[in-house]
Amino acid sequence: MTLGIRATNGVVIASERKVQPLVDPTTFHKIERVTDSVGFSYAGMGADYRILLQHARKEAASYHLTYHEHVPVRVITQRTATVMQEYTQRGGARPFGVSLLIAGYDDDGPQLFQADPSGAYFEWKATAVGQNFVNAKAFLEKRYTDEVELEDAIHTAILTLKEGFEGVVTKDNIEIGVVGADRVFRVLTPAEVQDYLDEST
């Protein structure tokens, strides 16, 4: 499961991270930085996600070369969703088997988008995709307020993950990405995740 929460001063996205026993865990990431101020996460097929991530990074670089400024969150969402939609009607190709959560901060403030395999995209205050997303959304509906601050949103994200998690949540089996008013998207280190886990117990 992957979820996102938009706060008054930023956005948090959090994801389960199920790594196969023999996979090197340092090579597997569910949350990635696209530009300085935008990050992606996903639920679905990792290979399809990687293709969309590469496309989004190219689009962001192209936008920066053309306009000499960072691509707005809505624009990178639209361009990525357009590619996803094109693959639903292209002969000899299949739709992308992935739902994306796109978190970013630009001149319009903090934003959280969800893009589905159909190419449809929506802006959300809080949402979840992937396994057990219905229960996660129900939990978020009860906990979310429009006045939530980024720190509280991180704790809410952890609590939401714990609700539908099989086993014990640890710093090694979840990832958290945040972007605040500084417009710098970053993935929290395992040590930082552990600190939040310690606070939320």
pLDDT at 91: 86
* Alpha helix segments (H runs only) across the chain: 46-67, 73-86, 133-143, 150-163, 190-199
The whole-number pLDDT of residue 122 equals 96
Residue 102 has pLDDT above 70, yes or no: yes
pLDDT tens per residue across span 116-147: 999 999 999 999 999 889 999 999 999 999 99
Domain boundaries, the chain: 2-18+29-196
Cα(57)–Cα(49) distance, integer angstroms? 12
Per-chain mean pLDDT for the chain: 95
pLDDT at 23 over 90: no
Residue 201 is predicted with a pLDDT of: 64
Give the architecture-level CATH label for domain 2-18+29-196.
4-Layer Sandwich (3.60)
Encoded amino acid at 185, one letter: F
Q: What is the pLDDT of residue 59?
A: 97
User: What are residue 28's phi and psi, to 5 degrees?
Assistant: -115, 120
